[in-house]
Chain A
Amino acid sequence: MNRLIRRLIGATLSIATAIAGLLGMGACSREPDGLPEGNAIYYWRTSLRLDESELRFLKRHDIRTVYTRFFDVVEDNGRLRPESTLIFTDRMPEGIEIVPVVFIDSRALRSDSLAAGLAPLLLARVDSMMSKNGYAPAREVQIDFDWTKSNAKRYFSLLGELADSLHAKGRLLSATIRLHQLAMKAPPVDYGALMVYNIGNFKNPDEENSIISTRRLREYIGYLSNYPLPLRGALPLYGWDLLFRNNKFQAIVRGMDLNDTTAFRPIGANRFAVGKYMPMPVGASGASPGSRILPGDIIRHEQPSAATLDSVARMLGSRRSDIRRRTILYHLDRQTIESFNDEEIEKIYSGS
């Protein structure tokens, strides 16, 4: 453990030296320890296409960094391959840094032989995607992987390889940290993006709010103070409607007008009973062909409120000041960002 911490400190110091030069270039601001700060957001779609509303959002909220999902790593017939690669349709506005994020599917690291050789392939592809689309090499790469005790060693080894390569060129490596992982050993990265969302099991009919809840957050918050890795906070903006039938999860539906009293009857704080036969909205996730919304079905509407997000940001900030140095919102999408007004977003970003 001590060895790891020493290694991290060493790496951080060497990065700090490298970053000091970058600060001089004024591309973005870094803390003295070289870790990023300022407003940021995730971009999690398969095609980089920004509409006016999204561009305005970036500008209005002084967003300096967009953590952009580049591709997924999946297992396919015993080999790893990239999937769902981002298509660069539009260009990211000048002055906004792209941090490539690579999502690794849980099956991809189920054996040492699978994971072997992944680090150089992954980095080369990230670099290639940046350069072939007209961007300078990314100064940071983020890995998103939901590790468990059984694959942590393998994953950390991969991160170690990635960190060595990136640090050698003065670049950073970050990783997403899920709340339950706070109780586990910290990964060997420069900092963690603490995902304060997807807290509960969305398929559980009894869950109040699976996206975020201060009650559930309290279960993990005790681990924060002593967590040995610098952290930045990632907070959700997205919402969804979850459809249940006979207490069984059916689908994630979006775009329902739950205020339509001819179709929905409120039966609780965020629950609605369906009153009539309806088609499943196109694009409903988890619905099989022929699925319908039927009278008697229950819809649980989950959307983090600005007040909840504000409260969460305060809770986190009170335990760890570094978390407040950068808030990464999830995620940049017209429908999602328009659920909040500018003031609310400002408040969430400021964490005050």
Chain B
Amino acid sequence: MMKKLKKYIAAVSLLAMSFLPALRASACGPDNWTPYDTRPFKLVKDAPASDYDPDWNGPEKSQDETCDFWDSYTNGEISRDDVKEYFHEVNFDSFPYERSYPLIALLDRKGDSTAIQYIRDCMEFNKLSTAYQLESWDYERRDPTALREFEARISKRRGGSAFDARYALLRMRIAGVLHDDEQILKIWESQGKTMKPSALRDRMGGFVGGVYYRRKDYPTALDYFYAAGDNNSILWCIDAISGPENLRQLYDHTPNSIATLYVLEDYVDYLIGATYAGRRNNFNSPYFYDDRYGERDDIFGAVAQRDDFIRLCDSVVADGRCENPMAWASAKGVLQCLGGDAESGLQTLREARGMKGDETALTNLDRMELWALLLLSGKGDRKFDNEFINAFSRFYAEAEAESFKKSRNYGSSVNRPVIEMPTYDYLTRFFAEEAIAHFTALSQPARALAVMAALDDLPISPGYNDEFMQRMRNNIFSGLTEPEALSFISLAEGKDCDGLLDAHFHPYAAKYINTAYDAFGTRLLRASRFEEALKYLGRIDDKWFVTQAIYPYLNRYWGYSPAYFAQYYSFSRHRNGEGIWTPYRPSNVKADFCADMIAALSEYERLSGDAKAKKAFEIAALYHYASPLGDCWAISDYGWSSAKPCNEFTDACGDWLRKACAMATDPTTKCKIYYAIIATPMRYDGPHDNYPYYSDNLEGRTYTKFAIDATWQTPKRYYWDYKTSLGTEAMDYLASHRDIVESDDVMRSCDMLSDYAAGKFIANPYK
């Protein structure tokens, strides 16, 4: 790790790619991230050197140039790997001149004094620059003399044409260390500027960009940084010149510069984001938006600026100096859409298509047109619906064709402005949020869910991203009203389809029909509406369960049997470890559970006396078993967390235990029920003493229980409330039936029960 870090530091130092002060090199993402920070409006192609070698983490372009140079210089006698290895060893303290390196051995053997001198000069530079910059306890006044003398020496070097360019770079690095901006420009004017395009020349240009940055000529600096592929420095330049006022001035002075396009792009993306943030409060479905996106308080400035900006776009398109009017007209179209006039926006975007523009502007235009069509769809106009479907299908096919690697090349949020955004990311990060918001605003939740289904179905990387599936499921499970959730099931089943849009989205929705049945059925199951739940859960394809993450936990339900129940009446969770999962085989555990519950409830109605009590106890056990505290929690939920260990089934379990207890007369049955009562968190609505009871995460409900024995695997934060009458009653009953307790392995092993019986029980150890 250290070695790699050392190499990286050495490489960065050697290549001098950091043109700006160190303070600004650190990069963290902004706090309030929105989907629009993905920069959906994109006009500038990625800087050419934005690709990085993951093994080295240095600028690949420069690395390649170094390898190319020595490969060519030695006529291929040295492998590129050997060159790479040698130059990776470079750092400020050492620049090894050892024959163990094949490159040095070859140069020595050939007596190539020119190349050897060059390497020695690099060593000398490292030594001098280190000494100049080092801050040690032995203070030395910074004296540039040695570096200046060295610069004078190497400027006279007759290196031959092969090393001329490299010496020019070396001299520029000296000037960089000495902060001698004049010298940097001088070397650039005399040598760098006329060099043929190469990574070496770009690196020199990076130094020049640094000079212009320090002189606050950010547009010029940006041109150099762009050529050098120095994305961080590009970002800092944009930071300095962003905003509509700067844009107007930039256009006046450099209508066709990269800087102008960058700032145009930056501002339009901001307006999209600000408009989004301003309206998102209008959506009332909590599951459509993730809180992590944060909010921006106030966009009152954005609207006023928007009108000014449209006028600027018009004037740019009209004045004829711009070589990329397509970009500006696109910006205007987007702003019209943001202003609520998507029809005019679409019209402007279509007019832009006939204007001059580069490839990136055209791609951007396509994307913005899809968005404008989305905003016009679902409103009853078949023409727009049709056009939207066609455009969406085109993009969808593009995203399907993209490779996983390309899509994951998407960088951190900090690098957004200069990282290429593949269609996949455009669709999933920008378009998806817009589409979901749009259909929600039109009260068309089924279509919003269908968009999630469609995007989740993109085979960009199977299993990589099921974010949309989860959002869809969460909505059906608990986010939407029942009729809203059912509307998606209808769409997926092909019922009540209305027009082109539904016909288009139906196949995507249909692929998720099992997910929808499961989410909706589980919603009903959680509400103990087992007969209704079975209607949906029963339709799920058994094989589908095997593909679900909860399958192994569902699978435990096979262990259910009266015998099992008798064995585990302690209501503990026994099967928490590995190795108990049976092989994958299709089964519909949830439907089985519903059927068992329906049967048990029906039988309960028919029974009486202790038999009825036993059945009530069995029903309680079923609830417990499928609750977050039971082995088969996956019946009632999609994930388990110690932070949320109870749900409606926990309550139901408690209710049925109380019923059972009230009816039972047989002492053994009664003991088992009481034991279950003290072993299970019971909803508690009574007064609290100052014991550490549990009340959060459960919508204000409080549960109490005994910490029953060592095998209990739920968190120990449930404590016995000795003032709970049922609990005290249970303990007293068990204490007075020692013979039954002692004859039972489970109850006998309970230390606390023994302590209670022996009068040693302390209700609350924290009190």
Residues of A within 8 A of B (CB): 71, 81-85, 87-88, 121, 124-125, 128-129, 132-133, 245-246, 248, 250, 273-280, 282, 287-292, 294-297
A280 touches which of B139, B239, B295 (Cβ 8 Å): B239
B32 touches A245 (CB 8 A): yes
Q: Nearest Cβ distance between residue A308 and chain B, in whole angstroms?
A: 30
Expressed in whole angstroms, the Cα–Cα distance for A282 and B237 within the complex equals 9
Q: Nearest Cβ distance between residue A245 and chain B, in whole angstroms?
A: 7
A246 touches which of B32, B242, B244 (Cβ 8 Å): B32
Check: B377 CB closer than 8 A to any chain A CB: no
- Given the known inter-chain contacts A81-B135, A277-B243, A279-B241, please indicate yes or no for A289 contacting B302, CB distance below 8 A: no
Q: Nearest Cβ distance between residue B145 and chain A, in whole angstroms?
A: 14
B417 touches A290 (CB 8 A): yes
- Across chains A and B, the number of contacting residue pairs, with CB separation under 8 Å, is 113
Q: Nearest Cβ distance between residue B528 and chain A, in whole angstroms?
A: 42
A289 touches B242 (CB 8 A): no
Check: B246 CB closer than 8 A to any chain A CB: yes
Name the A residues within 8 Å of B296 (CB-CB).
Answer: 245-246, 294-296
B139 touches which of A84, A85, A250, A290 (Cβ 8 Å): A85
B297 touches A245 (CB 8 A): yes
Expressed in whole angstroms, the Cα–Cα distance for A132 and B239 within the complex equals 41
Q: Nearest Cβ distance between residue A118 and chain B, in whole angstroms?
A: 10
Residue of A246, A275, A289 with highest tally of chain B CB at under 10 A: A289
Name the B residues within 8 Å of A250 (CB-CB).
Answer: 31
- Please list 18 pairs of residues, one from A and one from B, whose beta carbons are closer than 8 Å in the complex, sorted by A's number: A81-B136, A81-B137, A82-B135, A82-B136, A125-B137, A246-B297, A274-B301, A277-B267, A278-B243, A289-B239, A290-B29, A290-B414, A291-B239, A292-B239, A295-B299, A295-B301, A295-B302, A296-B299
Expressed in whole angstroms, the Cα–Cα distance for A82 and B274 within the complex equals 45
A277 touches B270 (CB 8 A): yes
Name the B residues within 8 Å of A273 (CB-CB).
Answer: 298
Binary contact readout B132-155 vs A (1 if CB under 8 angstroms, 0 otherwise): 000111111110000000000000
Name the A residues within 8 Å of B298 (CB-CB).
Answer: 273, 295-296
For residue B273, which residue of chain A has the nearest CB?
Answer: A294
Expressed in whole angstroms, the Cα–Cα distance for A81 and B238 within the complex equals 36
Check: B294 CB closer than 8 A to any chain A CB: yes
Check: B305 CB closer than 8 A to any chain A CB: yes
Residues of B within 8 A of A (CB): 24, 26-32, 135-142, 216, 232, 235-236, 238-244, 246, 267, 270, 274, 294-302, 304-305, 413-414, 416-417
B135 touches A71 (CB 8 A): yes
A290 touches which of B135, B216, B235, B305 (Cβ 8 Å): B235
B299 touches A279 (CB 8 A): no
Name the B residues within 8 Å of A294 (CB-CB).
Answer: 270, 274, 296
For residue A70, which residue of chain B has the nearest CB?
Answer: B139
Name the B residues within 8 Å of A290 (CB-CB).
Answer: 29-30, 235, 238-239, 413-414, 416-417
Expressed in whole angstroms, the Cα–Cα distance for A273 and B305 within the complex equals 16
Beyond A125-B137, A128-B138, A295-B301, list 5 extra A-B contacts (CB 8 Å).
A85-B135, A85-B139, A273-B298, A282-B239, A295-B274
Name the A residues within 8 Å of B141 (CB-CB).
Answer: 88, 132-133
For residue B301, which residue of chain A has the nearest CB?
Answer: A295
A279 touches B142 (CB 8 A): no
Expressed in whole angstroms, the Cα–Cα distance for A274 and B270 within the complex equals 15
A279 touches which of B216, B240, B417 (Cβ 8 Å): B240
Residue of B136, B240, B244, B297 with highest tally of chain A CB at under 10 A: B297
Q: Nearest Cβ distance between residue A248 and chain B, in whole angstroms?
A: 6
Expressed in whole angstroms, the Cα–Cα distance for A84 and B135 within the complex equals 8
A82 touches B243 (CB 8 A): no
Expressed in whole angstroms, the Cα–Cα distance for A81 and B134 within the complex equals 11
- Given the known inter-chain contacts A279-B239, A279-B242, please indicate yes or no for A87 contacting B139, CB distance below 8 A: no
A275 touches B414 (CB 8 A): no
Expressed in whole angstroms, the Cα–Cα distance for A291 and B239 within the complex equals 7
B139 touches A291 (CB 8 A): no
Q: Nearest Cβ distance between residue B156 and chain A, in whole angstroms?
A: 30
Q: Nearest Cβ distance between residue A15 and chain B, in whole angstroms?
A: 26
For residue B235, which residue of chain A has the nearest CB?
Answer: A289
B29 touches which of A82, A83, A275, A288 (Cβ 8 Å): A288
Name the A residues within 8 Å of B137 (CB-CB).
Answer: 81-82, 121, 124-125
Expressed in whole angstroms, the Cα–Cα distance for A292 and B305 within the complex equals 15
Name the A residues within 8 Å of B299 (CB-CB).
Answer: 295-296
For residue B295, which residue of chain A has the nearest CB?
Answer: A246
10 pairs of A and B residues whose beta carbons are closest in the complex: A296-B298, A295-B301, A296-B297, A276-B301, A128-B139, A279-B242, A289-B235, A288-B28, A275-B301, A121-B137
